[in-house]
Structure 1
């Protein structure tokens, strides 16, 4: 985003005539509404607190049609305070050829504050990122390989250490991102065999979904037993290959 953003030392400012940021509506709580289970951001006064990962468009002219301006991706994996001039609530958009979703469109003009130049460090920011990741709600503006990097950068920005081996955290990401054509498969297995696949064509799932797609054992040993029983029966009837965990091997000896 060279040139579209500038810093005055205190803030990162918009440096084009007009700009838009697209934040999934489900990630933002509104003052007048009920809290959303998936939200980590919120609206306050004249601004918003959001995760700094989203699609943006930077316009050289205010009157340009939206689709004529290319999409950019803001990747700052931490909570930020942003102050747009205005916003449009719950607009249905299909970005980057993805499924149509409801977005909060944040509208900026030259000189508006995108975020502070210096991030505020807090373990709460790490918790918020993990909440989004485990709920399958990380904005799909990230490619698959950028998800893990963003998670590690989130810890780095906040001066924290995850206290877990990198291979464990990579395995978590792999389980939460599935092949949309066959959710029983991890997306990493698909893109590993065919690097030409769109790295944003994954299907993100939450922990509940990951357990349901992995195997009958993992499904029935998680939560929502009746729901998982149905998915397990369907998995067996369809002959879906399952990976056996060491625990299951011991139990069935």
Structure 2
């Protein structure tokens, strides 16, 4: 085996919600291995910011405005990508939201919104690309899951329900479409330093670390928050021929947090 197994030259990758953060870092990693990048975001402003960010990195990305919870819009976007760029070989379902609200205080409409973006949208996007993947002879789907695909925590009932469901959707897509040489796997990021987690890392008024920041560092053997770039390597692996016999796996990129029960008393 050599590094050619990780070469993505000629492959078209669609990364949802990839104007910044984890999606941008993953797309940048795929581009670095030769993939042509397509991405979407919810509005023109974010999409244009994404185009500028890719251009600054020397990446010629194709940006689309699309609400990934809208099935008709997603079907139209995928058709346009196929016409303008080519069949999607790699789908990364990255777009997501979180609402940190105690369950008994959360409106059902807020719960449904999180489920819609974090679970229904990956279903809609996968459904849109799979037929052409079958015709082409294969493809790769990566669902961005979460530590909350496995664990519970206060205030994230909707997010955990969605990401737990996404874990099982990943396994089901692998089971149903593996016969067509389609591999569907998940990446479960640990606690990553992104705009989404910024409120949990803000210093206190006295300059001390945020209590949640302290909690995460104590629970993570790596003793740090992850960076979006930490997810690029795993994404390249799961997008490449090096992972052709890997299907239905959720790969946790978490600095060891899922393996750790905590520091023993001294």
TM-score normalized with structure 1 length: 0.30
Q: Which structure is higher in strand share?
A: 1
Structure of greater Rg: 1
Larger RCO: 1 or 2 (CA < 8 Å, sep 6+) = 2
Q: Which structure is higher in helix share?
A: 2
